Structure 1
Amino acid sequence: MGLNEAQYRAVYHRGGPLLVLAGAGSGKTRVITERVAALVERGVAHDRITAVTFTNKAADEMRQRLRARLGATAGRLRIQTFHALGLAIVRQHAGLVGRRAGLSVFGRSEQRTAVRSVLQEMGLPDDRTQLDRVLPRLSQLKGGIAPRADPALVDLRRRYDALLIRMNAVDFDDLILLPLQLLQQHDEVAELWRMRASHLLVDEYQDSSRLQYELVRALAPGEADLTVVGDDDQAIYGWRGAEVRNLFQLERDYPTLTVVRLEENYRSTAAILHAANSLIAHNRERLGKKLRNTLGRGRPPRVWECDTSEDEAERIAADIARRHTIDRVAWERFCILYRAAHQSRAIEAALRGRAIPYRVSGGRSFFDHAEIRDLLAWMRLIANPDDDLAFLHAATHPRRGIGATSLSRLGDLAHRLDTSLLKAARDGLLEGRVSDALRGFALLIGDLEHRFRRGDAGEAFDLLLKESDLIGAIREATDDEEAWRRKEGNIAQLRDWWIEHAERKGNLVSFMQRMMLFGDRDEAEEGAVRLMTVHAAKGLEFDHVYIAGMEEGSFPHKNAVAEGRIEEERRLLYVAITRARHRLTLSWAAHRSTSRRGEARRPSRFLQEIDHEALCFVDRDPDSEEAVAEAEAHMAEIRRRLGLA
């Protein structure tokens, strides 16, 4: 199928900045892919094009589409997440920000450990509650959005940044902040990266933070060839620093901006779009667009009133089972959405009761498994000998006679000598047997570093498993044979990834940096109903979507109501509605189970805002008009299949 008129204008736009306002299901991924391809076909050098996405999954999809479109040359294009682009800039100019080659990227777990050590150093509480309070505020301070930071937080940030420099590490906030500083403070850096981003394309711009917006401006100032793709109606991440205002500010910062609206929807039926459009029209802060249907009218979205949350869950499960059995709809084409994760409990129980396979998205990450954390700690230390957090983890996993007291003494010594834990251990300056154990561990790391740098990739990985005794320790701690096979499979997967990376001429440093940026990939699963929060559903689509918990206090969430964030909650429901291709059901319960009591609830205000002519209201009576009609249709289908019609 060819491009429609608006898509064509976006793909072949020439001259100056461009904003593509892309509604849900309007083909934005195709547009941004075709625009990159058009630039290449026009003769633009591959190394002058940079495309930025927000997730690894989106970057992968764009690479695959461009590979199909352009062939092998697509591999020379720079298609990255914001954080991967930031890491590339920091790696090339590490010395200008106090880092060296082989720097580590600290994820959430490493950041918590580092901040805890700083809190201990400051004599402040370091329990989980304190960390949960401090970490978001620290991130806001680094991002420049903390309101009047108190002196203690400023001091913590100073000490924490110094600790990162000492460990030759950066966190995810640094991957935006440090590149921005490099571009703003060093003309030669700005000139180099502006050349590499002569044609800069940014997807999902409504999800950008203030610093990410400034980074884009630093890369593509003034009349640069900047293409921004976004949808103000799908801005749902304000709670984590995203600013929908970034879209509105584009016209101010780029006076020659061209705006193209993609309003033709290729995903949902007209009935579903009618509901979505009538809802989002209540938002005042909008750039303005209205989705138009290309697929036909379809059936109106249903609204179910249920007695309790358990009744709601049972009704959803029964409907899914019926459609799977009668209509032959595959399990993976169903999705159940909810505002908060705790709402899945009753739904999971109902699905299990009917033996319906399901998967809760956003569950345990591959990188959260203990065996993977242990292996990555060893590999991080081999790649970066200054990474003290990796040292502390690797030296004690598995246990090798190095206890907390010994590590504390080693830490004091390293602090006095202003050196890393690994170097202090290697120099053998402590007394007694513990010095021998630490020195032996440090020498082992040195030997492994040589093998990873010079030897065969697979042999180096296998030597790490053998010399560290990680396999033996994991096997001994795992009683269940099935659990052991899963752990063994996880280790084999990591080994395969490392070998694949090495075969592409990558080294251990770049592999570890890639692993730390790798965690947002979605683990697709065939043959299972998907359960997820609306935030997790962004960018996905399903034939049949159920939105549960449509009550005041749940959707919109009571905290959002108290904080005046109703427009973002409305956008969140708009995103949920536009995930549906063919059939949409919204449900609410008159009594919602909370703890041990059933709490009386009122239907969400959003159900009142949607044009009622767009909806089919179904009450709690199983003999309602719609239920009877569906039952008759199902019986007719059964008779047809049996040859009785």
Structure 2
Amino acid sequence: MQLDKSQLDFIQAPSDQNIRLLAPAGCGKTLRLLHRCKFLAEHSATKQNFLVVTFTRAARDELRSRVNEDPGFADIRDLVEISTLNSWGYRQIKREAFSPKLITSRRDFHFTMRNQLQPVWRNHEQVRGAIQSSNRWKSANAPRNLMDMIDSLKTLGFDHKRQSSLEGFNHHWKELEGQGLGWRLQEQVDQLIKFDVLTESATSAKDFYCAFYQFWVEATARLIDEATFTLEDQKYFAYQHEQTNVDNRGFLSGAAALGHVFVDEFQDINPLDLALVRAMVKRRRATLTIAGDDDQAIFEWRGATPEYILEPDKFLRTRRRFVTHTLATNYRSPSNIVLRSQSLIKHNKRRVAKQISSNSLKNAQIDIKKLDTLRDSLNYVHKLLNSSISQGTSPSRLALISRKRSQIIPYQVFFASKDIPFCAAEDLQVFLSATFERLIRLLTVKEDADRRRSASNVLNDITFFCDYVKRYPLNKKTKLALKSHLLSSRPRTIRDGIDALADYHGELKGKNVDGETSLDMADAISQFIDAESVTDALLSLSTDFEGFQYDFGKSEEDIFFADPPFLYLAEYARQYEDDFASFVDDIEVAKDTLVYTPPFEDDVSDENLFKRPIHLMTALRAKGKEFDKVVLLDVQDQIWPNRNARTQQQLEAERRVFYVAFTRAREQVTMLLHKGAVPSPYIQELGL
């Protein structure tokens, strides 16, 4: 393909420049990095070495394939190293650490905290109290969660060597707040409150430092000394190694040095990534090219921030200031997609202004469909799919993109019931969660509520209900006492068991004064059992059973709690009326259709999966992909943008998510919304 002027300007820029390459979707950014390497190698009097850092293994493998298979890059094959930060860092671990041990599983995390770090936490009262808590749930979950927090502080760029003092800690804390990452700090505070390491009344940065950070400093040092590493340590250890050499002026030269470092998808890096890149470049005295698009910075939930690509001089602190190049031509999207997406994203204030044009003269079909019910939406998508197939459209060119996981679930059940093969990304693994299995069990028990059975079976079912009426399950002692009470009345049906529960006056989630807690639980279970339809039963679970409601803390262990799917499942279930058996059967069929798809960092192309006629995904998963036809679900206010987005920073982040979703289409974009809903403001911002 012939290079355009903006691409040539970047490729042929002076060799001593640090460059910020801004490249909107479809501009051919990644391949141009290799062309830049080729140009520099050909126009240098001395041998040049290049390191190209990619964000995912898939991108790494694609670039390696290009270098190895394209004869145009034959001359630089031995000069270019292509790697992710993790794999580059892991090589440092293997080179520098003696007999390193990599821990990755939940069990490994639990064991490491409970045993290997015991000499550290036993000297820190609050952490010790969490791990040895008399509360069974807290003592069981604290070790792994606190290990996760050790990693989280590394991700946020804290340094156990250089920021061990309160002053150093406070300085970095304030820096993170200034970068818009204060909400990530609040997440850490909330975790410590959950395990009683902090209290609601003591949540300042100093409280955090005293209660946990000092433990973190010692624990981090001990794990490194004992060559025990997590996946995040692949980058953290490499950063420590590089920064120590910089501090000691151990700069590289000659064959060991790198002339040029390139970092792709720079808008997606987090504070630890930033620190590692800064140290590796400084140690090698290399030029640095950062490539990405601030308008596609949508991974803030992983600790990334667009601030670094917006102000590279401020955060990278290199010897040379950055020169900005912008790839100005979109080679993928039709003209009106580019025009309208630019109209949308210009409403963000915190961005770099760009003038982007499309290489295509054709326009995509852009439709807005206002439909009465979810059933109408399902039928519309089904019709669109059938139309695409009848027109001979190649497989895998239709995508349904949602803002939330729960929006996709009815479509999965629907397509499974129609025997339509589809590809569902990790967003739908909620079907495989243990909590979803328990929900299905409750529906099955409800269906047989009036059937007589053994008293022991009734006891087990009633206590199972009680485990989910409140946020956390009954403890072993309470459960035994309740079962003893229930057994005395010999219940033979679920309704008998509910009556017996209402008469219980023993301890139950507290003191159970005058049996009030028992009555509340019995009432909640009774409301569910008396529900006349599948929809009513699901709504009862969503409102009366705290154990199934949104819970950020529990979502780290079970994806169900991140976005409980009751609202959309209940709407979809209206067609079943009181046929619980058929609903459960269709759910089981939908579960069986789930296929494994890799997490973000392993997002590789699988031809067998990609040939399925329809793809279901959230907008976060859609980044980097393209389809002939895209259907955006529920394009209405409170969803696009998410109702929880309130600050200017959050609202701009939501607009970037929609921008990414909208620009996935090559031929057609259809936006669905409910007739009675308020349309998303993004529709007007698109100029529609």
Shorter-chain TM band:
0.5 to 0.7
Aligned counterpart for 2:132 among listed residues 123, 130, 133: 123
Supply the distance in 2 between the matched residues of 1:558 and 1:169 (Cα, whole angstroms).
42
Supply the distance in 2 between the matched residues of 1:73 and 1:603 (Cα, whole angstroms).
52
What is aligned with 2:679?
603
Supply the distance in 2 between the matched residues of 1:223 and 1:257 (Cα, whole angstroms).
15
What is aligned with 1:291?
356
Is contact 1:49-1:196 (8 Å) kept?
no
What is aligned with 1:342?
406
Q: How does 1:268-307 map to 2 (within 5 A)?
A: 268-307=333-372
Q: 1:90 to 1:273 in 2, by over 3 A?
A: same
Secondary structure class of the residue paired with 1:346:
helix
What is aligned with 2:388?
323
One-letter amino acid of the counterpart of residue 104, structure 1: L
Structure 1: stretches of 5+ with no match in the other structure: 95-99, 370-485, 491-514, 592-600, 613-645
Is contact 1:546-1:587 (8 Å) kept?
yes
Supply the distance in 2 between the matched residues of 1:349 and 1:303 (Cα, whole angstroms).
24
What is aligned with 1:192?
252
One-letter amino acid of the counterpart of residue 362, structure 2: R
Deviation at 1:196, TM superposition (A): 3.6
Supply the distance in 1 between the matched residues of 2:47 and 2:424 (Cα, whole angstroms).
40
Secondary structure class of the residue paired with 2:644:
helix
- Spell out, residue by residue over 1:460-507, the C-alpha distance to the aligned partner (whole angstroms, 9 max, x if none): xxxxxxxxxxxxxxxxxxxxxxxxxx9xxx9xxxxxxxxxxxxxxxxx
Work out whether 1:10 is the aligned partner of 2:10. Answer: yes
One-letter amino acid of the counterpart of residue 281, structure 1: K
Work out whether 1:231 is the aligned partner of 2:296. Answer: no
Deviation at 1:329, TM superposition (A): 0.9
Is contact 1:310-1:346 (8 Å) kept?
no
What is aligned with 1:213?
274
Supply the distance in 1 between the matched residues of 2:666 and 2:140 (Cα, whole angstroms).
42
Is contact 1:182-1:190 (8 Å) kept?
no
What is aligned with 2:96?
93
What is aligned with 1:521?
604
One-letter amino acid of the counterpart of residue 350, structure 2: E
One-letter amino acid of the counterpart of residue 8, structure 1: L
Q: How does 1:253-402 map to 2 (within 5 A)?
A: 253-254=317-318, 256-325=321-390, 327-362=391-426
One-letter amino acid of the counterpart of residue 407, structure 2: Q
What is aligned with 2:228?
169
Q: 1:544 to 1:184 in 2, by over 3 A?
A: same
One-letter amino acid of the counterpart of residue 220, structure 2: D
Deviation at 1:131, TM superposition (A): 7.2
Deviation at 1:213, TM superposition (A): 1.6
Supply the distance in 2 between the matched residues of 1:299 and 1:218 (Cα, whole angstroms).
45
**What's the TM-score, normalizing by structure 1?**
0.63
What is aligned with 1:456?
none
Secondary structure class of the residue paired with 2:234:
helix
Secondary structure class of the residue paired with 1:558:
coil
Secondary structure class of the residue paired with 2:604:
coil
Supply the distance in 2 between the matched residues of 1:364 and 1:72 (Cα, whole angstroms).
45
Supply the distance in 1 between the matched residues of 2:94 and 2:230 (Cα, whole angstroms).
13
Deviation at 1:193, TM superposition (A): 8.7
What is aligned with 2:37?
36
Supply the distance in 2 between the matched residues of 1:46 and 1:311 (Cα, whole angstroms).
63
Deviation at 1:154, TM superposition (A): 2.5
Supply the distance in 1 between the matched residues of 2:145 and 2:310 (Cα, whole angstroms).
31
Aligned counterpart for 1:83 among listed residues 55, 63, 86: 86
Secondary structure class of the residue paired with 1:531:
strand
Identity between Structure 1 and Structure 2 (%): 25
Q: 1:196 to 1:356 in 2, by over 3 A?
A: farther
Is contact 1:138-1:153 (8 Å) kept?
no
Deviation at 1:214, TM superposition (A): 2.1
One-letter amino acid of the counterpart of residue 271, structure 2: R
Deviation at 1:159, TM superposition (A): 6.4
Supply the distance in 2 between the matched residues of 1:280 and 1:263 (Cα, whole angstroms).
15
Deviation at 1:106, TM superposition (A): 2.8
Is contact 1:271-1:298 (8 Å) kept?
yes
Deviation at 1:197, TM superposition (A): 3.0
Supply the distance in 2 between the matched residues of 1:204 and 1:243 (Cα, whole angstroms).
12
Aligned counterpart for 1:249 among listed residues 287, 311, 315: 311
Supply the distance in 2 between the matched residues of 1:349 and 1:227 (Cα, whole angstroms).
46
169-178 or 205-214, which deviates more: 169-178
Is contact 2:626-2:664 (8 Å) kept?
yes
What is aligned with 2:61?
60
One-letter amino acid of the counterpart of residue 198, structure 1: G
- Spell out, residue by residue over 1:261-302, the C-alpha distance to the aligned partner (whole angstroms, 9 max, x if none): 112000010111122111101000011113201111313411
Supply the distance in 2 between the matched residues of 1:53 and 1:78 (Cα, whole angstroms).
11
Supply the distance in 1 between the matched residues of 2:232 and 2:633 (Cα, whole angstroms).
34
Supply the distance in 2 between the matched residues of 1:519 and 1:230 (Cα, whole angstroms).
19
One-letter amino acid of the counterpart of residue 258, structure 2: A
What is aligned with 1:397?
none
Is contact 1:183-1:189 (8 Å) kept?
no
Deviation at 1:571, TM superposition (A): 0.5
Deviation at 1:40, TM superposition (A): 3.8
Supply the distance in 1 between the matched residues of 2:600 and 2:298 (Cα, whole angstroms).
22
Is contact 1:20-1:228 (8 Å) kept?
yes
Q: 1:181 to 1:583 in 2, by over 3 A?
A: same
Deviation at 1:132, TM superposition (A): 8.6
Q: 1:527 to 1:112 in 2, by over 3 A?
A: farther
Secondary structure class of the residue paired with 2:667:
strand
344-353 or 103-112, which deviates more: 103-112
Work out whether 1:530 is the aligned partner of 2:615. Answer: yes
Aligned counterpart for 2:672 among listed residues 557, 570, 587: 587
One-letter amino acid of the counterpart of residue 618, structure 2: T
Supply the distance in 2 between the matched residues of 1:571 and 1:518 (Cα, whole angstroms).
20
One-letter amino acid of the counterpart of residue 59, structure 1: R
- Spell out, residue by residue over 1:317-374, the C-alpha distance to the aligned partner (whole angstroms, 9 max, x if none): 221111211x211231111111112211111133234432201022799xx99xxxxx
**What's the TM-score, normalizing by structure 2?**
0.60
Supply the distance in 1 between the matched residues of 2:374 and 2:428 (Cα, whole angstroms).
26
What is aligned with 1:576?
661
Aligned counterpart for 1:106 among listed residues 104, 107, 110: 104
Deviation at 1:546, TM superposition (A): 1.2
Deviation at 1:223, TM superposition (A): 7.3
Structure 2: stretches of 5+ with no match in the other structure: 118-126, 159-175, 177-184, 187-204, 434-591
Supply the distance in 1 between the matched residues of 2:276 and 2:263 (Cα, whole angstroms).
11
Supply the distance in 2 between the matched residues of 1:323 and 1:517 (Cα, whole angstroms).
29
Supply the distance in 2 between the matched residues of 1:321 and 1:350 (Cα, whole angstroms).
14
Supply the distance in 2 between the matched residues of 1:140 and 1:9 (Cα, whole angstroms).
40
Supply the distance in 2 between the matched residues of 1:54 and 1:568 (Cα, whole angstroms).
20
Is contact 2:405-2:428 (8 Å) kept?
no
Aligned counterpart for 1:203 among listed residues 247, 256, 264: 264
What is aligned with 2:544?
none
Deviation at 1:530, TM superposition (A): 1.3
170-179 or 132-141, which deviates more: 132-141
Is contact 1:223-1:256 (8 Å) kept?
no
554-563 or 190-199, which deviates more: 190-199
Secondary structure class of the residue paired with 1:259:
strand
How many pairs were matched up?
A: 452
Q: 1:521 to 1:527 in 2, by over 3 A?
A: closer
Supply the distance in 2 between the matched residues of 1:161 and 1:77 (Cα, whole angstroms).
34
Q: 1:346 to 1:72 in 2, by over 3 A?
A: farther
Supply the distance in 1 between the matched residues of 2:46 and 2:600 (Cα, whole angstroms).
27
Supply the distance in 2 between the matched residues of 1:55 and 1:360 (Cα, whole angstroms).
20
Higher RCO, Cα 8 Å, sep 6+: 1
Deviation at 1:516, TM superposition (A): 12
Is contact 1:557-1:569 (8 Å) kept?
yes
